[in-house]
Chain A
Amino acid sequence: MKTHIKKDINKVVFTGLFIMLGITGCEKSDLLNKQPESQINQANYYTLPEHAESALNAIYGETRTVYQVVGGIFSGVYQMLEAPTGTSRTESGQNADQNALHGLTYDGNTAHIASYWNNTYRLIAQANW
């Protein structure tokens, strides 16, 4: 009987050890509240005057991207006006959005038009940031 008790003590010690290992090894807050360490968010940025400047820079940055129009293969922002007026031509004929500009069948869903408007709204939003 004595040996049985001894065995059971061993078991209890072992069992307890593993459970404690788990509980102390990983605090709940550690596992469930991971914060990004290589990206910033509003909560942990904008703490220094330079950061305000950086926000201002972002507006100028957005002014550049207004013209980064998504137009598909072999195309770009310059085609938005040049293609419908016939000033530019294409030899490839494989870009459906580009074809829409040439064929005067474009609308708000044509990639060039949509992305120009979206980028402009982005610029405005950044300016109002």
Chain B
Amino acid sequence: MFLYSNRVVDETKKLNIRIKDATIDQAMLKLLAGKSLGYLIESKTIVVFPQAQQVRQLIPNLKARETVTGTVTDEKGEGVAGVSVSLKGTNISAITDSNGNYSLNAPDSNGTLVFSFIGYATVEKLFSGSVPINVTMIVDNKALEEVVVIGYGTQRKSDLTGAVASVKEEQIRERAAPSLNQSLAGRMAGVQVNVNSGRPGGKSNIRIRGFSSINTSNNPLFVMDGVALPQSNLSQFSSPIDFINPNDIVSVEVLKDASSTAIYGARGANGVILVTTRKGRSGESRVTYNTDFGVPTMGPNKPEVLNAREYLAVEELAYKNMQKYDSVGWARGNYAPFNPAIRRANAALMANGVFDANGNPLHDTDWLKATTQSKLSQNHQLGLTGGNDRTTYAVSLGYRNDYGFIISSFMKRYSGRFTVEDQVKKWLRVGGTLSYNAQAENIVDINSNIRQIVEDLPILPVNYPNGTFANNRDYPGAEGTYSSVHRFSNSKFNLNTQTTIGSFFSNINLFKGLEMRTVFGSNIIRQETNEFTARTLNVGSANAGNAASRSQVETFWSLENYLTYNKKFTNSNLTALLGISWQENDGYNFRASAQGFDTDFYEFNNLGPGSGARGVSSGSDDTDFGFESYFGRINYNLLDRYLFTVTGRADGSSRFGQNNKFAYFPSAAFAWRVSEEGFWKKNDLISNLKLRTSYGLTGNSEIRSYDYLDLLGSNAAILNEARVPGTGLGRLANPDLRWEKTAQADIGLELGLLNNRITLEADYYYRKTTDMLLSAPVPRTSGYSSVRRNIGSMANKGMEFAINSANIRGKDLSWNTSFNISFNRNKILSLATPSDIVDVGGPNMTGVTNIIRVGEAAGSFYGLTRLGVWGTNEAAEAAKFASYRGGGKILPGDVKYLDVNGDYIINDADRGIIGNGSPKAWGSLFNTLKYKNLDLLVDLQYSYGNDVMDLTLHPSEDRQSTANSYRSVLNAWTPQNQNTMIAEVRQAGHTTTPDTRWVKDGSFLRGRNIMLGYTLSKSITDRMNLNSLRIYTSAQNLFLLVDDEIVGDPETTPIQGGEGANVFSQGQNFHGYPRPRTFMFGLQIGL
């Protein structure tokens, strides 16, 4: 061991000397030859000192020493390695070994030892003589000292002036989810994550503090290790984060208020999610291997449909009732083909053994069972980290193979990642990360495939005896053409997504306190969409057999340079940041499709042989955008009590009109740590109290590229029997087009009770979005319908509470509870004109489903009020109504709507707001119990006051006998059963339009994740040569409590929903991918 002062030895350069078989004295003499240094050997320590200095001055009482030994353990009694043990008032120190033992040579036989270790409270102990000093280190619960990532930097949580929520690695790992969004669901107050599908991989969306936009994106900005992930035009409304392996992510910070998001300026309005991935660390290399296996099973609230006998009974009644509802047509014989006797006597059906000779069904198929599977899915993640004081690295490899609950759906992901960091010079640190994810999926919840499961007739088998598929179209007059099993088996929608993300950074320490960081990042997303529909799914058409392929490449790069200056004054601390950023994205896609194949062999692999009327058609387009931005921030901390932050950013974007190229976003915040004040008596009850407030402007620049330009439209005319292209009217230019602005005010409170065993964070916010992009109408006589303008405004206000409590913190038993609840209210303040916007929301095949109306919440459900069904004693009143049943007279047994204005006409004047898909309150409750080696997690999700608009009631309850229906139709109106909401069954003339019957109370409580784990004790893992081993089992979506007649899951969006024009379709049920209950088993191994 060498002992020397930096001041002395720093002056010399590195020396290389060659010595062989020499004593230490000989070596030292050679080493120090010609230097003004001396040396001295004292009990295995070589002390180097300037020759002029006396050794005794350098180390007083070198001879009078005492050896102090002992063991440092944690609360569980296990030795803690790496604890620094130092003798107070000296430079003498030691480090504990892997068993927690230490030995320290003290110059005196009395003194104070200081034990310190990151994450633990520092302990001081007196020693006297050589009595062993054993210490138990207690985990430091001052979560306030936690460091969080903020835009372009990090900050101690106690210094934050903004509203920032964090999720740590262990919380992300609790759910073995394939996408980050799913891991984040319910973790943070104010952050609403809706997982709207049971599809492997999710299909989730994130809203931070409500909606902020109607026509541009409502998605937050994701920033991964300092590099933005732009929102690309990916298939299925997915976002680039969906394709990143969540196992590489170690922390996530969500910036919610304007003080923290304004540094991202024109892209901060919807909140910013900062993602930090795993880095290497110095010390012993570590290998981790995590694996899990899961099986999906039928989830809660499965749809209940008619069985074969029930279906046939409904069909008979429906046919009979047509005599009442269309007596003229009945007499004319319009409904004769629907006579059940004739339908069932169909020769082909008879030949295929569907009915017996008496017309009784021979099958009773459970189509839900036939189209679902419980196959074993697996996930393997291998990680390696290591390094020394200078260089650290991390490598990870992942493979996941999920079989979806619906047959033929799957998701596979291969991922690899490498990161390295090096302290090249004292003043220069560089690092880089390269990651690659390849994901392959087969999407089945497209078109009407899922819908078909409940509409498939139970009287049909899956396959006829000859092996071909049985289809609804085989049954005369039925709707639905091909069966669900047939569709899943003979069509493909393959999505192959490859994401390559690379980043490189350098940190240059220019002089004390001033650093320059440069981050160059690039991400390239390549997505291929390959579709194929077999010839059997379009029988008899010249265009039978369809194939299409689409390839999209999004290439993004960014270069950011910023200076950070930190200066400590006597009573205060100043941090200033100044930076510049350039970003560019190039999107290109190419697509081709063909039909009319004479074989299914090629699928989408060879479009050439397609010979249909339209042959092979193709197209391509290109969309680019660029950003040039300047940003800065000043944090000033006075007396550790008064914290000030001022932030600003100027964003220039190619998406803005010529007259508005640059946008400016300022913000300011102030926080007061009341509990640090002199007048505040230190007490354990209220151990921390901080008040903070902020105000600022952010923007939403996710307007489409070139939206400000007067692009031309194209059409085609037929001249001289030939198709000729025409180029003309497109859209109006708006050179003033610019970002949407959001001003946000936030007031927050952070409270720590009982020495921070209980922490509470509460926020109130008001967000007002102005300059909202809308299509403002222009006089129709111009030929145009509208022009895009920055007009319109909306507001969100809400409250958020997050509480964390360490209920029990014992040696063997610990119990932690965290609870969060969020409230948000949205209101439209102004639109382009006072009239409503109705072309938003879900599939509106039977009328408008959603409305955007001034004074109401954006995207409220819109429709008629169904009072019930006209009774036999109300025939005269019903007959007064103008027909709302295709011209037929309104009769007892017809739906009875509320006629708001009493004009006996049921039309738009009678429609109103009948619900809203956004919850009034939502959140989560987590309980973590640990007893010795066992751990139990109970993760509950709840939502209150959200409505569900069940559009499936249109085909499956309001209509009967064209396809199978829900069992609820057994409660339809009959002269004997008049107190019902469901009209009398019939073959035709169904009255069906969005109304209150479709709107259900979607409040729910979900057992999202129940997990039981066991960590093998050290003695066993040591014998197995392992560092750690944990086994666990979990059940996801275990139970779902709802209070209304909900079919399926209340957390849902229709097919194709979730973004774009359908951003307001949250809570609309239209045959999404059913959400399974999944049972899992996993292993976490540390080598």
Contacts and interface: CB of A to CB of B under 8 A. Distances in A.
B15 interface: no
10 contacts: A11-B509, A11-B510, A30-B626, A31-B583, A38-B621, A51-B727, A57-B725, A90-B887, A91-B989, A103-B905
Nearest to B954: A94
- Choose among A7, A33, A105 the residue with the greatest number of B CB atoms under 10 Å from its CB: A105
B566 to A, nearest CB: 17
Contacts of B783: 121-122, 124-126, 128
Given A25-B559, A54-B726, A122-B783, A96 B847 contact: yes
A57 B723 CA distance: 10
Contacts of A10: 425, 427-428
* Residue of B625, B713, B907 with highest tally of chain A CB at under 10 A: B907
Contacts of B958: 94
Contacts of B620: 38
Contact of A93 (B427, B725, B845, B888): B888
A5 interface: no
Contacts of A89: 329, 886-887
Interface of A: 7, 10-11, 14-15, 18-19, 21-22, 25-26, 28, 30-42, 45, 51, 54-65, 72-73, 83, 86, 89-96, 98-100, 102-105, 109, 117-118, 121-122, 124-126, 128-129
A100 B781 CA distance: 25
Contacts of A25: 559, 582
B899 interface: no
A57 B719 contact: yes
Given A122-B729, A129-B728, A21 B559 contact: yes
* Most chain A CB within a 10 A radius of its CB, from B580, B730, B887: B887
A45 B413 CA distance: 45
B711 interface: yes
A58 B428 CA distance: 63
B709 A99 contact: no
A26 B710 contact: no
B751 interface: no
Interface in B282-308: none
A40 B654 contact: no
B882 interface: yes
Nearest to B882: A103
Greatest chain B CB density within 10 A among A22, A73, A93, A96 is at: A93
A32 B726 contact: no
A93 B992 contact: yes
A112 B880 CA distance: 26
B717 A31 contact: no
Interface in B720-758: 724-730, 733
Given A22-B561, A32-B652, A93-B991, A55 B882 contact: no
A102 to B, nearest CB: 4
Contacts of A32: 626, 628, 652-654, 661
A56 B727 CA distance: 8
B977 interface: no
Contacts of A54: 725-728
Interface string B323-344: 0001001000000000000000
Nearest to B890: A103
Contact of B726 (A57, A99, A100): A57
B727 A40 contact: yes
Given A18-B561, A86-B887, A40 B653 contact: no
B161 to A, nearest CB: 30
A10 B506 CA distance: 13
Nearest to B783: A125
Contacts of B988: 91-93
Interface of B: 326, 329, 425, 427-428, 506, 508-510, 516, 518, 559, 561, 580, 582-584, 620-628, 652-654, 661, 705-706, 709-719, 724-730, 733, 780-785, 845-847, 882-888, 905, 907-908, 954, 958-959, 988-993
B339 to A, nearest CB: 16
Given A19-B561, A58-B715, A104 B888 contact: no
Contacts of A124: 781, 783
Contacts of B425: 7, 10
A105 B882 contact: yes
Contact of B728 (A34, A35, A59): A59
B69 to A, nearest CB: 43
Contacts of B887: 83, 86, 89-90, 99, 102-103
Nearest to A34: B654
A58 B713 CA distance: 9
Contacts of B993: 94, 96
B336 to A, nearest CB: 14
User: Which secondary structure characterizes the binding site on chain A?
Assistant: helix
B626 A90 contact: no
B1057 to A, nearest CB: 18
A41 B988 CA distance: 49
B98 to A, nearest CB: 38
A99 B584 contact: no
Of the candidates B506, B783, B784, the one having the most CB atoms from chain A within 10 angstroms of its own CB is: B783
Nearest to B989: A93
Contacts of B714: 58
Contacts of A61: 715-717, 726, 728
Contacts of A35: 706
A102 B705 contact: no
A19 B706 CA distance: 29
A10 to B, nearest CB: 7
A33 B729 CA distance: 24
Given A32-B652, A94-B990, 10 more contacts: A11-B427, A14-B506, A34-B624, A35-B706, A36-B711, A59-B717, A64-B718, A96-B993, A103-B883, A121-B781
Nearest to B519: A18
Contacts of A41: 709-712, 730, 733
Contacts of A38: 620-623
Given A14-B428, A93-B991, A58 B559 contact: no
A79 B326 CA distance: 20
Nearest to B661: A32
Nearest to B620: A38
Contacts of A122: 729, 783
Contact of B706 (A39, A62, A92, A100): A39
Nearest to A65: B715
Given A18-B561, A100-B907, A125 B652 contact: no
Contacts of B712: 39-42, 45
A40 B628 contact: no
B844 to A, nearest CB: 8
A37 B885 contact: no
A2 B425 CA distance: 16
A63 B733 CA distance: 24
Contacts of B780: 117-118, 121
Contact of B427 (A7, A19, A39, A72): A7
A26 B717 contact: no
A56 B726 CA distance: 7
A41 B654 CA distance: 16
Contacts of B624: 34, 37
Contact of A31 (B508, B652, B724): B652
A99 B719 contact: no
A73 B847 CA distance: 9
Nearest to A109: B908
A59 B712 CA distance: 14
A49 B1014 CA distance: 79
Given A45-B727, A57-B717, A39 B621 contact: yes
Contacts of A104: 882
A40 to B, nearest CB: 5
A126 B882 contact: no
A121 B905 CA distance: 30
Given A31-B584, A36-B705, A129-B729, A73 B882 contact: no
Contact of B991 (A42, A58, A60, A94): A94
Contact of A73 (B506, B509, B846): B846
B992 A31 contact: no
